[in-house]
Amino acid sequence: MDPLPQSVLFCCDHNAVRSPMAEGIMKKLYGTGTYVQSAGVKNDMEIDGFCISVCQEIGVELSRHRSRSFDEMEEWGDDISSYDLVIALSPASQRRALELTRFFHLDVDYWPIMDPTGLGDSREAKLESYRQTRDQILERLIARWGQPTET
């Protein structure tokens, strides 16, 4: 079990599904002791409705999430070098995070989390794919930092 870092940045391709899920779930599990944010390689999508739904099922509120890219993050003064840990949830975001952090002593971890977008034909099948993604993130968080400190 690792001690909780001071700050974590989750990243994925669009900051619309996996990284906001991870951000919201981590905040829910471990409270406000760790500064948690998320970003995408691109910001070309709003937060995904299925993502909001499956997170609501576990009491994580994502409807107010605003997607942002690495570039926007930097423009808004949120410097990637100020994070203790970057967790990439997609290969593209891992590459971008490694590019952005190459001059800093900063850990970039890669968690291969399934992208549920485009999976499933019916609403229920789609929700099931998103639940799998949500549960993969939950499992990774608990494996890394232990059982939740807050509910």
Question: Average pLDDT of 82-87?
Answer: 94
Looking at residues 14-43, what average pLDDT do you find?
A: 93
- What does the pLDDT look like over 57-72, one tens digit per residue? 999 999 998 899 999 9
| Model pTM score | 0.93
Domains of the chain: 7-145 (3.40.50.2300)
Is the pLDDT at 103 greater than 60? The verdict is: yes
DSSP string covering 85-149, please?
EEEESSHHHHHHHHHHHTTS--EEEE------TT--SSHHHHHHHHHHHHHHHHHHHHHHH-S-S
pLDDT band at 21 (very low <50, low <70, confident <90, very high): very high
